[in-house]
Amino acid sequence: MPELNHAVSDVEFKATPDQHCALSDFKGRKLVLYFYPKDNTPGCTTEGQDFATHFAAFEKANTVIFGVSKDSLKSHQNFKAKYDFPFELITDKDETLCKLFDVIREKSMYGKTYLGVDRSTFLIDEKGILRQEWRSVKVKGHVEEVLAAAQALPR
């Protein structure tokens, strides 16, 4: 798991529309990775819309946004198109990023326990150093807090 103020391991991933990238591809820009449980669910939709609303301000702060979940690329493409998200979504079906950032937690629904993604966000600086993390995120007001942190990092 990456530690605050330490470099994040370089990991390759697939993102919408059909990109093959690595975290190192974004050196020179700040990077927000926000992990969410599932496409097209109320909290995840609201969080995505909040990031979309503030997209221009993140761009101005030299910050790239990626949403990350275990959903398929096709599911992500539909979710992104339905809500017109201006940023890309990473498919992490094999949980490479989820495990790297330690966001898989035991959850409970209708009396059954299962392993799922704990809503979490990570801010990586232009040199690939983890500068801030938010875990067990509550959606309301969260994006504004992430934006303020991104704006506060030096260029």
Q: Considering the candidates 8, 31, 32, 44, report the single residue annotated as catalytic.
A: 44
Quick one: which of 140, 139, 97, 99 has its CA closest to 119? 139
- Please indicate whether residue 44 is annotated as part of the active site: yes
Number of neighbours of residue 69 by Cβ within 10 angstroms: 27
Q: How do beta strands 63-69 and 88-91 pair?
A: parallel
Residues with catalytic annotation?
Answer: 44
